[in-house]
């Protein structure tokens, strides 16, 4: 009998139910292992050629089984039902639950070990940590640290998850609702417009999963806060900042840093400018 999964090189056919593990495998040079991806996958562009087998809370189980995966990798309790269906069908399933920057690094390290690319994983982590350190040092030289509200969803109004708050701090800002960052579920981070007005943010950064951010709605909601009065309402695409993986630690934090440098008149980290399309109000 020929084994498809040897102890030396790990699984050969992996279904990635969310995009951060897909991007990580590409960065590790292990893209040939990917048998299927989430339909929301954007990074890297070439990954879009892989078979699309899932959304976020739903998946095409029969299509996944038809790909004969050695392993399916998901993220968070929101994919528990998908994981259960795959487990019942006899598929090996791994579900990550990273919610902080350090846990994102843990995910990268574990995934690299699973695919027998631990050295590459450690190199990738070192590179990401080095870039974050440069951004943090540049941010420390800003004239001041603006108060930032990160809007994950408009109705109900949801504040940022833990890794986003941590990246805002690293990039030069002060999150206005740090008390909610530990809440894993979005329902634990719901706030009111009155709470937002009382927090009095200097900057609003919005990133909605799916629809384009409506800045006019944001301005109408709390016209009295400095962020609106001074026209400091910005958008970052969710694929850059709400992906708990390499995207957030590269393009996501770079865009936050660029926004805060613009707001404060500070100088952004040299050589670490955003590589993707940014909010036109920054141009």
Percent of the chain whose pLDDT exceeds 90: 93
Residue range 191-216: average pLDDT?
A: 96
Give residue 212's region: left, alpha or beta (phi > 0; psi -120 to 50): beta
d(Cα 72, Cα 93) in Å, to the nearest integer?
5
Task: Please give the structure tokens belonging to residue 237.
Answer: 């695409």
Residue range 21-33: average pLDDT?
A: 98
Which among 248, 213, 235, 206 has a CA at the least distance from the CA of 75?
Answer: 248
Give the per-residue pLDDT at 119: 98
Give the per-residue pLDDT at 1: 43
Domains and CATH numbers, the chain: 14-128 (3.40.50.1980), 143-282 (3.40.50.1980)
Give residue 72's region: left, alpha or beta (phi > 0; psi -120 to 50): beta
Helix (H) or strand (E) holding 93: strand 93-96
Query: For the chain, percent helix, then strand, then coil, each to nearest 5?
Result: 45, 15, 35
Give the per-residue pLDDT at 135: 98
| Alpha helices (H) along the chain | 19-27, 61-66, 80-88, 101-114, 118-139, 162-171, 193-199, 215-221, 226-229, 238-241, 246-247, 253-264
């Amino acid at each position: 009998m020929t084994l498809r999964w040897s102890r030396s090189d790990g699984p050969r056919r992996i279904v990635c139910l969310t995009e951060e593990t897909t991007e990580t495998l590409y960065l590790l040079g292990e893209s040939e292992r990917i048998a299927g991806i989430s339909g929301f996958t954007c990074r890297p562009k070439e990954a879009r050629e892989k078979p699309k087998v899932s959304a976020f809370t739903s998946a095409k189980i029969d299509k996944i089984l038809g790909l004969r995966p050695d392993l399916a990798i998901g993220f968070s309790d929101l994919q528990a039902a998908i994981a259960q269906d795959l487990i019942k069908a006899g598929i090996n399933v791994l579900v990550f639950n990273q919610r902080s920057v350090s846990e994102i690094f843990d995910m990268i390290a574990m995934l690299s070990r699973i695919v027998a690319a631990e050295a590459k994983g450690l190199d990738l982590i070192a590179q990401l940590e080095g870039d974050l350190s440069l951004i943090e040092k540049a941010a420390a030289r800003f004239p001041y640290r603006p108060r930032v509200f990160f809007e994950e969803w408009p109705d109900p109004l949801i504040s940022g998850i833990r890794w986003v708050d941590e990246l805002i701090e690293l990039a030069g800002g002060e999150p206005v609702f740090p008390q909610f960052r530990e809440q894993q579920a979005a329902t634990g981070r719901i706030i009111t417009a009155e709470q937002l007005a009382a927090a009095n943010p200097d900057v609003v950064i919005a990133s909605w999963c799916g629809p384009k951010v409506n800045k006019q709605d944001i301005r109408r909601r709390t016209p009295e806060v400095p962020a609106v009065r001074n026209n400091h309402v910005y958008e970052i695409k969710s694929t850059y900042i709400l992906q708990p993986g390499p995207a957030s630690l590269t393009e996501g934090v770079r865009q936050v840093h660029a926004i805060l440098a613009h707001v404060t008149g500070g100088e952004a980290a040299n050589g670490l400018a955003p590589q993707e399309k940014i909010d036109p109000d920054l141009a």
